Structure 1
Amino acid sequence: MYILLALIAACALGVLLHFVLPHRPLRGVVVAPAIATAAAGVVYTSMQWAGVAEGDVWLWLASVGGGLLFSLVATYLITAIRHESDARTQQALGV
């Protein structure tokens, strides 16, 4: 049940991340929170299977922080690729 706390924290920080990163109109509102939540779930589960206890601070830092870091990189890359693609399309159309 503690995994829910990590997932909720990662999702909430993912929402904050959406508003911090540039080019918000180029991505959906749920992209950053969804990536952060999924990554936090994978990290939390992997560390639990590796034997890290629920009370260990490294489990929480790795799952929430790692999920947020992965979401930061993935969301930034998705947005950068979309921005570049839109710029090429506008150039091709002469806009």
Structure 2
Amino acid sequence: MYILLALIGACALGIGAHFLISGRELRGVAVTPAIATAASAILYTALQWTGIGEDSIWLWLASVLGAVVVAVLATLGIVAFRRRSDAEARAALGI
């Protein structure tokens, strides 16, 4: 049940990160929050399997803040890839 707290926190911070990262017109509105939520679920589950309890601060830092860091890096990569591919397409079309 505690995993929902981590997922909601990561999603909310992912929404905030979406608006702080430039290039919003190059990606969908749900990309960054979705990546943050998925990363949070993976990190929380992996840390629980390794034996870290819900009372550990490391579980919460990794599953909430770590997931947002992963989402920000992935979003920056997506934006960079999109800008590069758009520039190549414009160059190929002679625009």
TM-score by length of structure 1 reads 0.96
The ranges of structure 1 where at least 4 consecutive aligned residues each deviate by more than 3 angstroms after the TM superposition are: none
AA paired with 2:81?
I
Q: Which residue of 2 aligns with 1:83?
A: 83
| CA distance, structure 1, for counterparts of residue 44 and residue 54 of structure 2 | 9
Aligned counterpart, 1:94: 94
Partner residue of 1:4?
4
Q: Give the structure 2 partner of residue 34 of structure 1.
A: 34
Whole-Å Cα distance in 1 between the matches of residues 92 and 10 of structure 2?
39
| 2:45 alignment counterpart | 45
* Runs of 5+ unmatched residues, structure 1: none
Structure-1 residue corresponding to 2:20? 20
Separation of aligned partners in 2, 1:5 and 1:70: 18
- How big is the shift at 1:56? 1.0
SS at match of 1:51: coil
Tell me the SS of whatever aligns to 2:58: helix
Q: What is the TM-score normalised by the length of structure 2?
A: 0.96
Give the Cα separation in 1 of the matches to 2:5 and 2:41.
Answer: 10
Whole-Å Cα distance in 1 between the matches of residues 62 and 19 of structure 2?
Answer: 23
Q: Which residue identity does 1:3 align to in structure 2?
A: I
Residue 66 (structure 1) aligns with: 66
Percent identity of the aligned residues?
56
CA RMSD of superposed structures (Å) = 0.7
Give 5+ residue unaligned stretches, structure 2: none
